[in-house]
Amino acid sequence: MAYSAADVLGVRQAREALQKMGGANLKSNEVRIKNISPGVGGGGVIVEAQIETAFRLVQDKKTWKVAEVRLGDRQWESFELIDEAVRREKERRTMISLKQLEEGLTAYHRDRGVFVEADEIGELLDYLSPRYLVSPLRFDLWGEQFDFNGKADSYRLTSRGADRRKGTSDDLVIEHRKGATD
- The reply to whether 172 falls in a domain is yes
Whether pLDDT at 84 is above 60: yes
Is residue 81 a part of any domain in this protein? Answer: no
Which pLDDT value is given to residue 44? 86
Q: Are 99 and 157 part of one and the same domain?
A: yes
21 in any annotated domain:
yes
22 within domain boundaries: yes
Look at residue 147 and tell me if it is in a domain. Answer: yes
Has residue 80 been placed in a domain? no
List, for residues 14-62, the tens digit of each pLDDT value. 999 999 998 899 999 999 999 998 887 667 899 999 999 999 999 988 9
- Asked if residue 163 and residue 106 are part of one domain, the reply reads yes
Q: Which residues are paired to 25 by β-bridges? A: 72
Looking at the fold, whether 94 and 168 belong to one and the same domain comes out as yes
Any idea what the CATH number is for the domain that residue 137 is in?
3.30.700.10
Instruction: Residue 39: name the closest of 9, 59, 18 by CA.
Output: 9
Give the DSSP per-residue string, 130-161: TTT-SS---B-TTSPBPEEEEETTEEEEEE-T
Asked if the structure places residue 181 within a domain, the reply is: no
**Does residue 113 share a domain with residue 172?**
yes
Decide if pLDDT at 7 tops 70.
Answer: no
**Residue 121: closest CA among 148, 159, 152:** 148
What domain range includes position 129? 86-176
Residues 43 and 98 in one domain: no
Same-domain status, 91 and 168: yes
The rounded distance, in Å, linking the Cα atoms of 172 and 140 is 10
Cβ pair 171, 144 in contact under 8 A: no
CB 112 within 8 A of CB 131: no
151 alpha-carbon distance from chain centroid: 28
pTM of the predicted model over 0.85:
no
Please indicate, yes or no, whether residues 46 and 100 belong to a single structural domain of this protein. Answer: no
Q: Assess whether pLDDT exceeds 60 at residue 5.
A: no
Q: Are residues 96 and 168 in the same domain?
A: yes
End-to-end CA distance of the chain: 55
pLDDT tier, 67 (very low <50, low <70, confident <90, very high otherwise): very high
Domain for residue 162, yes or no? yes
Contacts 24+ apart (CB under 8 A), 86-93: 87/162, 89/141, 90/140, 90/141, 90/142, 90/162, 91/141, 91/161, 91/162, 91/172, 93/141
Round to whole Å and give the CA distance between 105 and 115. 6
pLDDT band at 8 (very low <50, low <70, confident <90, very high): confident
Q: Are 122 and 146 in contact (CB under 8 A)?
A: no
Residue 90 and residue 167 share a domain? yes
SS3 content of the chain, % helix, strand, coil (to 5): 35, 30, 35
Residues contacting 39, CB < 8 A, separation 6+: 5, 45, 46
How many domains does one find in the chain?
Answer: 2
Of 52, 75, 94, the one marking the end of a domain is 52
